[in-house]
Amino acid sequence: MSDNGSEENSTSSREIDVESIAVKLYVELIDGRDPMLNYIEYFPEFDLSKIQQPNGINIFKLTSKLKELGIQLEGRTISYYSFNCEMYINCGLDPVHYSYVMSLNEIKQTNQLRIKCIQTGISLIHLVMSEEMNEKVNKMKEQEGNEQQQQQQNQGQENQKQCRRTKERRIGYIIEKVQKWREYYNGITIDGGSKRFTLEEAAQKVNISKKSLDDYLLQIRYGRKFGFNFNEHKNEKVGVLRAFVKKNNSTKKKKVKQE
């Protein structure tokens, strides 16, 4: 009898502890069209009692609560930061699916929750390209691009053929990784302050070599220049983008020679 009573008291105690969780909540609202509209809503003690479930914090309930507080999330892509994975987990457009849950243990370890809400009035590829180099650097890149691309294509072609199936990534995946890479490089907000990483450090954060990311960024830039439909081909392998860029580069060279 006493064992059952102590078990009930223990369970009740655990429930009280869970219900009383209050964390630092950072809600980063990003407008890809106008960076001046970007801002962060900070809640020093955000009560999680009404949005949690046994296995963690329900992201759908969290975003619903934020909208009740007057934060405009409609039409935005929602993601939450996983400290275990060291990256943002994309939950899709608001309203997000009810199945997205962030581990309660992870929240307890850091005592904070980070949500990113990106205005999707423009496509993902434009978000990647919003961090443009200045005009002078772009011209230099364009002049060097053809030579660099040719060198990359010639280097290790035999090895690429053997490893293509295991190494070739999807276009949507590389866009997300390049975007995250540049975010780390430009600076991310941590505990109210901005922290920047070198390109090498940022590459380590996304678990892809800087050399590969440089190549992906170059392919994305050329693809955008030649009018590649990124949204339509986001699930295709990156080889589709390479072939498109190569074909259009060849066409451009022929036109220049004819002129």
**pLDDT at residue 196, as a whole number:** 86
Rounded to whole angstroms, the Cα distance separating 153 from 196 reads 32
Angle among Cα 127, 129, 131 to the nearest 5 degrees reads 95
- The pair of structure tokens assigned to 138 is 């772009």
Rounded to whole angstroms, the Cα distance separating 151 from 148 reads 5
Name residue, tokens 């434009």: 126
Residues (pLDDT < 50) of the chain are 1-18, 122-123, 127, 130-138, 141, 158-166
For helices 210-225 and 199-206, angle between their N-to-C axes, nearest 10 degrees? 90
**Could you confirm whether domain 2-122 is CATH 3.40.50.1360?**
no
DSSP assignment of 28-87 equals EEEETT-GGG-EEEEEEEEE-TTTEETTEEEHHHHHHHHHHTT---TTEEEEEEETTTTE
**pLDDT at residue 83, as a whole number:** 77
Residue 67 makes CB contacts below 8 A (sequence gap 6+) with 73, 74
**pLDDT at residue 37, as a whole number:** 82
Rounded to whole angstroms, the Cα distance separating 34 from 151 reads 37
Check if the beta carbon of residue 131 is closer than 8 Å to that of residue 217.
Answer: no
**pLDDT at residue 233, as a whole number:** 87
Name residue, tokens 């990534």: 169
Distances (CA, A) of 13 to 2, 5, 18, 147, 249: 16, 12, 9, 67, 67
User: What are the extents of the domains in the chain?
Assistant: 2-122, 125-258
**pLDDT at residue 248, as a whole number:** 87
**pLDDT at residue 143, as a whole number:** 59
DSSP assignment of 95-158 equals SPPTT-EE-HHHHHHHTEEEEEEEE-SS-HHHHHHTSPPPHHHHHHHHHHHHHHHHHHHHTTHH
Check if the beta carbon of residue 174 is closer than 8 Å to that of residue 238.
Answer: yes
Check if the beta carbon of residue 24 is closer than 8 Å to that of residue 107.
Answer: no
Verdict on whether the full-model pTM lies above 0.85: no
**pLDDT at residue 188, as a whole number:** 81
Tens-digit pLDDT profile for residues 30-79: 887 777 888 888 999 888 888 888 878 888 999 998 988 888 888 788 88
**pLDDT at residue 133, as a whole number:** 41
Q: Which of 187, 192, 188, 189 is nearest to 44 (CA)?
A: 192
- CA 128 vs. chain centroid, Å, equals 10
Element of type H or E holding 90: strand 87-93
Q: Which of 93, 94, 113 is nearest to 103 (CA)?
A: 113
**pLDDT at residue 50, as a whole number:** 81
**pLDDT at residue 153, as a whole number:** 60
